[in-house]
Amino acid sequence: MPKQHFLDLFFNPESIAIVGASRNPTSFNFNLVGNLVKLGFSGRIYPVNPSADEILGLRAYADLRGIEGDVDLVVSSVPAAMTLDVVKQCIEKKPKMVVLVTGGFSEIGEQGGKAQDEIAQLFRQGGIRVVGPNTLSPINSSNNLVISFHPVEKLRQGGVAFIFQSGMYEFRLNWLLFDFHLGISKLIDFGNKMDVNEVDALEYLAMDPDTKVIAMHLEVMKGDGKKFMQLLTETSKRKPIVILKSGCTEAGARASASHTGSMIEGSDAVFDTVLRQAGVVRARTVEDFFYFAKSFEFLPLPRGNRIVIASYSGGEGVVATDICQREGFSMARLGQEAIDKAEVVFPTWEIPLNPFDLGVCVQFHQVGEIYDILLEAILGDRGVDCLASQLVPIPSSSVAERLYGSFLAAKEKGKPIVLWRPVMDRVVNTLYEELVERLELIHIPVYPSAARAIQALSVVYRYKIMQEGAD
Amino acid sequence: MPKQHFLDLFFNPESIAIVGASRNPTSFNFNLVGNLVKLGFSGRIYPVNPSADEILGLRAYADLRGIEGDVDLVVSSVPAAMTLDVVKQCIEKKPKMVVLVTGGFSEIGEQGGKAQDEIAQLFRQGGIRVVGPNTLSPINSSNNLVISFHPVEKLRQGGVAFIFQSGMYEFRLNWLLFDFHLGISKLIDFGNKMDVNEVDALEYLAMDPDTKVIAMHLEVMKGDGKKFMQLLTETSKRKPIVILKSGCTEAGARASASHTGSMIEGSDAVFDTVLRQAGVVRARTVEDFFYFAKSFEFLPLPRGNRIVIASYSGGEGVVATDICQREGFSMARLGQEAIDKAEVVFPTWEIPLNPFDLGVCVQFHQVGEIYDILLEAILGDRGVDCLASQLVPIPSSSVAERLYGSFLAAKEKGKPIVLWRPVMDRVVNTLYEELVERLELIHIPVYPSAARAIQALSVVYRYKIMQEGAD
């Protein structure tokens, strides 16, 4: 039960002390307290700063010892040279957990590694669990707990839990929440993994009822490998797990050693096999990592692999069909009832066939009518498991409104629907972007390309096959 | 010599007649004349429309026969049923070439195919070459000749010639020119390839001095296969050729048959081998097609494979390093002089190493200073062949100005530089987007991700290796 796991107080502290809290709005450390106050974190907040009496309306403390009540979580963001003193304050104050934000330890070489080992030993002796150093953590959307150097305007609750091992997400946080429209349950960043590691996080998130998908960036494994694999295998049957394992080429491993202070073990091919056996989906790039997580969060699992493609040009439909076949889909053959329905938006000389050519339809019918009729015809057909369609440009807000309604109704069929843009980058058209946002908020994803859209379906389809095999 | 090729009058007509020209600004056909007038096409324009006296200030004609002077190129966009009459007018008027925009021929089945064959025979007998039917063509940026259903605000001259076989580019044209910042030399779309085909186009563009890169979307080969392969092999030694061959899976071939009225020959694997032997770069998705073309247009060929990575987070640098190794790059080892120079923007405890961690630098130095110093240090090092760097967010317009200057100077070193965004999609920040546009206009591309940026370098590096092998 999550309530009993030691990480529960890390994600749900009743009181939190920020050591190194700043009054200067342009400093990174300002946002450590700033985000908690702005977002309305419900626990008690104790800013610690010897030269301030008050920060953002909160009483500031000279050091941890001066705080009257208990402190569940200490977040320390002071220069590396001052960290040892904070450690000593912690040993006296006895918080349940500590996050060491400060960098300059094992990632900078032998001397930093030695300092890190000393600190680790002190915490161990004091019975205090530590996340970091060299990290920004945690985020919990259910209680508005955010430790970040950047101002976060709002959190978006959702089912994806992120596990990071570097600040790779840090400057992407607002983008992730509000441009990518991904809802987060929890986020933990380990940094140098002095103590708490991927096994602890996986164990906790596997049981966390708010977490539906686990996305983990892993450079170096520090925990019990056997237990980790066991947890992956068991958890992936219930919750999809996406892993971005980096530092897996020779050059990448050397690069990793220089920034988290750890060495890689094992070869990439072995790791690949092991992950596949454990039912884990592997990402090879940063964008795959985020896109795969989004696919699992947004899409229901398809019953089968029979797909329909609808594109803005016939040529693009053929390219998409090639991609479908490569990704293991078969082109759905629509029944006569569906064909009869679809025919209404095609010219008399064209038989509606999969892939559907929307470019032909838009010459003779309104965009709103086309999607309304096609969505109903295609998704109502029992021979269709999923749909990937290009979302064409929209002429007016009333058409956007109608489209939104059609997609909302189509979603009720329970089949995965993925869309892709007319052009790769964001269209510079407010009407279109507003519709995209509304569609993504009801979990109909809009991708930059057909390849991305079909890959999203492929990722969830392969998970479903794996799950069935595991039953 | 291009001057003597029959396609020269197609791209450089002195007079052009638009049959089906429309006065209604909301109709597709309006833009056929509209774009020519707006962009200032230098030749004579004859709108043909029996119910209009004048279109956009130009005298309109009831039919082709009524035009007094010679007509080099006829563009016909009338309903399929009226096409035969236009063909007869053409036989009398004897233009050098005809573009049949109209669809509804071989792509709709047997009956359409028969009608197409009849028309083809009439043109053959009349000694007139035809592009289409079912197409929008041509574009020539050197004389502002654009045949498009969409309003085109401006052309951007550049070295990429596009060869299409469907309207896949049509709705992307403004995006391609002004969001993707790609300059076009010429564009031809074949549609159903009743007469003019890929061999003719390749032959012409191989000799075209304005064309530096040839990007070809190919569904079905209609020309002399042996000659085509010979042209590819010879041309690719001088000009990079990117081919998106679609309809190459079984399902894709069926889809292709239904929209261009043609069947596929040969298997995909065979085609793949043949293209590789001919020195052609193959794209598998629409986005690869456009990105590969952009890489060749923007980037000088690197002397070798020694790469430097500079990322906004250490973790992302490790992921990028993995990608580099997979793509055949080796991580450059900088000389002492370069390390000494770079050290200035790193904290004393960090030795500047490849991959460079810009996230560390921005905590201690200004963004403008960091790029200025690093670009000079890295690209000045003789052990470095190319650079892929994340372009971090920009605090002010003066920093943007300084960055632009630094990159402009760095470009002078003649080594390929590719950048990638802090987040995948467009950043919603005018300052950043303005800098991106300025950088792309001096041919420093800014990609959505590290993977895309490194792939761009990989495409040009592999071309360079192929070219050396062919010498």
Domains and CATH numbers, chain A: 2-296 (3.40.50.261), 300-470 (3.40.50.261)
The answer to whether residue A16 scores a pLDDT higher than 50 is yes
Q: Is it the case that residue B248 has pLDDT exceeding 60?
A: yes
More confident residue, A165 or B126: B126
Averaged pLDDT for residues B319-325: 95
User: In this predicted structure, what is the pLDDT of residue A25?
Assistant: 95
Tens-digit pLDDT profile for residues B100-146: 999 889 888 888 999 999 999 999 999 999 999 999 999 999 999 99
Torsion angle of C-alpha atoms A253, A259, A262, A265, degrees rounded to 10? -20
Find the angle CA(B345)-CA(B350)-CA(B354) to the nearest 5 degrees.
80
Query: Would you say A133 and A194 are in contact if contact means Cβ atoms under 8 Å apart?
Result: yes
Per-residue model confidence (pLDDT) at position B254: 77
Q: B151 to chain A, minimum CA–CA distance in Å?
A: 15
Nearest residue of B to residue A258 by CA position? B353
- The SS3 of residue B272 is helix
- What pLDDT score does A4 carry? 81
Give the pLDDT mean for A39-64. 97
CB contact under 8 A, B246 and A318: yes
Q: Are B224 and B171 in contact (CB under 8 A)?
A: no
pTM, entire model: 0.94
Task: Identify which of A28, A108, A313 has the shortest CB distance to residue B166.
Answer: A313
Query: Are B187 and B205 within 8 A, CB to CB?
Result: no
Residue of A nearest to B314 (CA): A259
What pLDDT was estimated at residue A230? Answer: 96
Mean pLDDT lowest among A229-238, A272-281, A393-402, B263-272: B263-272
CB B236 within 8 A of CB B278: yes
In the structure, what pLDDT confidence band is assigned to residue B253 with cuts at 50, 70 and 90?
confident
How far apart, in Å, are the Cα atoms of A18 and each of A22, A38, A76, A133, B403? 9, 15, 6, 15, 36
Mean per-residue pLDDT, A314-334: 94
- What pLDDT score was predicted for residue A436? 96
Q: CA B42 to CA B64: how far, in whole Å?
A: 20
| pLDDT band (50, 70, 90) for residue B265 | very low
Q: Return the residue of B nearest to A80 by Cα.
A: B349
Percent of chain B surpassing pLDDT 70: 96
Average pLDDT over residues B201-226: 95
Helix count and strand count (H, E) for chain A: 17, 20
Q: Which of A83-87, B153-157, B228-232, B268-272 has the lowest mean pLDDT?
A: B268-272
The candidate with the shortest Cα–Cα distance to B161, out of B201, B110, B200, B126, is B201
The rounded mean pLDDT for chain B is 93
Q: Which residue of A has its CA nearest to B423?
A: A172
- In the predicted model, is pLDDT for residue A352 greater than 90? no
Distance of alpha carbon B269 from alpha carbon B275, whole angstroms: 10
Residue A77 has pLDDT above 90, yes or no: yes
Q: Is the pLDDT of residue A263 over 60?
A: no
Task: Flag the least confident range among A17-31, B8-22, B164-178.
Answer: B164-178
pLDDT category of residue A344 using cuts at 50, 70 and 90: very high
Mean per-residue pLDDT over chain A, rounded: 93
CB contact under 8 A, B286 and A359: no
Chain B positions touching A428 (Cβ under 8 A) are: 179
If pLDDT is split at 50, 70 and 90, which confidence band does B39 have?
Answer: very high
Chain segment B406-456, per-residue pLDDT in tens: 999 999 999 999 999 998 877 768 999 999 999 999 999 999 999 999 999
* pLDDT band, very low/low/confident/very high, at A260 (cuts 50, 70, 90): low
Min Cα–Cα distance to chain A from B284, Å = 8
Is residue A139's pLDDT more than 90?
A: yes
The predicted structure's pLDDT at residue A262: 47
- The yes-or-no verdict on residue A55 having pLDDT over 80 is yes
Least confident of A172-181, A421-430, A457-466, B4-13: A421-430
pLDDT band, very low/low/confident/very high, at A471 (cuts 50, 70, 90):
low
To test the contact with chain A by mutation, choose from B271, B319, B353 the residue with the greatest count of A C-beta atoms within 10 A, namely: B319
- pLDDT in the model for residue B166: 79
